[in-house]
Amino acid sequence: MDAQRNLTVAVAGGTGTLGSAVAEELRGRGHRVRVLSRHSPDHPVDLTTGQGLAGALAGCDVVVDASNSTSPKKARTTLVDGSRLLLAAEERAGVGHHVGISIVGCEKVPIGYYRTKVAQERVVESGPVGWSMVRATQFHELVAGVLAPLARCGVHPLPKARLQTVAAVEVAHAVADVAERPALRGRVEVAGPEIADLRDLALQWRAAHRSRVLPVPVPLPGAVGRALRAGALTTGRPDVRGTTTFAQWLAGR
């Protein structure tokens, strides 16, 4: 099926790391894009209450949900309850396609945020609107965003964790491809070009920033540590493989 042209696409979380890249990619392909978020100047919405959704979604063909909350108190309300409110509003507005965003391997790592993502996937995949689910690995931006403030404290505490980081802009490209096609009722996995240990990524970050931050290996006990060491958040066979390595991404900033 050919990609659809001239769509009106709402990007929930369209001011965030992934959402802003998705909005830019879709605009570049000639679609009409509405950026939805609490602080959006044009389409302020709050997914925890549903406020603003009816007006923001009227006339939309597709919704990409790139909203996020990692706060232990707000993640469930924003992502799981928020998805229910968003899908109900989409159904009322006649939206034909909901593109959800999730995480490669999230069902394999027993931490609260990943459980929330699994619950959000279930809400979308059993919901009233035709759906596609794009699962991505961790963004280069996330790793850099964790390492930078730690470096200001002089220490990088580093558990052993195999990651396959990917540039958010490459995930956005894959999300836009999915948004332009009819609902898959299935998943697409997007992953970075190489699997690397967090400790090696931190050394790359240190070199790129000529930082003297002290890397400190720390143990991560239990099921979470085992899963991360075993590469539960990586995939050997992604549907889409990004090409920009973490080192290249750091060099290009």
Looking at the Cβ atoms of 74 and 214, the one nearer to ligand NAP is 74
Looking at the Cβ atoms of 80 and 213, the one nearer to ligand NAP is 80
Determine if 244 is a binding residue for ligand NAP (CB under 6 A): no
Comparing every residue's Cβ against ligand NAP, the nearest one is: 16
Looking at the Cβ atoms of 49 and 243, the one nearer to ligand NAP is 49
Residue of 7, 9, 10, 19 interacting with ligand NAP (CB under 6 A): 19
Determine if 16 is a binding residue for ligand NAP (CB under 6 A): yes
Please tell me the distance from the alpha carbon of residue 214 to that of residue 153, in angstroms, as a whole number.
10
Residue of 83, 132, 138, 204 interacting with ligand NAP (CB under 6 A): 138
Please tell me the distance from the alpha carbon of residue 106 to that of residue 169, in angstroms, as a whole number.
21
Q: For residues 153-182, which are near ligand NAP according to CB under 6 A?
A: none
Determine if 86 is a binding residue for ligand NAP (CB under 6 A): no
Determine if 83 is a binding residue for ligand NAP (CB under 6 A): no
Determine if 45 is a binding residue for ligand NAP (CB under 6 A): yes
Determine if 67 is a binding residue for ligand NAP (CB under 6 A): yes
Which among 136-144, 146-154, 201-209, 234-242 is the span making contact with ligand NAP, rule CB under 6 A?
136-144
Residue of 5, 6, 39, 236 interacting with ligand NAP (CB under 6 A): 39
87's CB contacts (< 8 A; 6+ apart) are: 98, 123, 124, 127, 128, 129
Determine if 38 is a binding residue for ligand NAP (CB under 6 A): yes
Which among 33-41, 124-132, 191-199, 230-238 is the span making contact with ligand NAP, rule CB under 6 A?
33-41
- Number of residues that make up the chain: 253
Determine if 199 is a binding residue for ligand NAP (CB under 6 A): no
Looking at the Cβ atoms of 8 and 51, the one nearer to ligand NAP is 51
Q: Are strands 196-197 and 32-37 parallel, antiparallel or unpaired?
A: unpaired
Residue of 29, 34, 37, 56 interacting with ligand NAP (CB under 6 A): 37
- β-bridge mates for residue 36, sequence order: 12, 43
Determine if 249 is a binding residue for ligand NAP (CB under 6 A): no
Q: Which residues bind ligand NAP (CB under 6 A)?
A: 13, 15-19, 37-39, 45-48, 66-69, 78, 101, 103, 117, 136, 138-139, 142
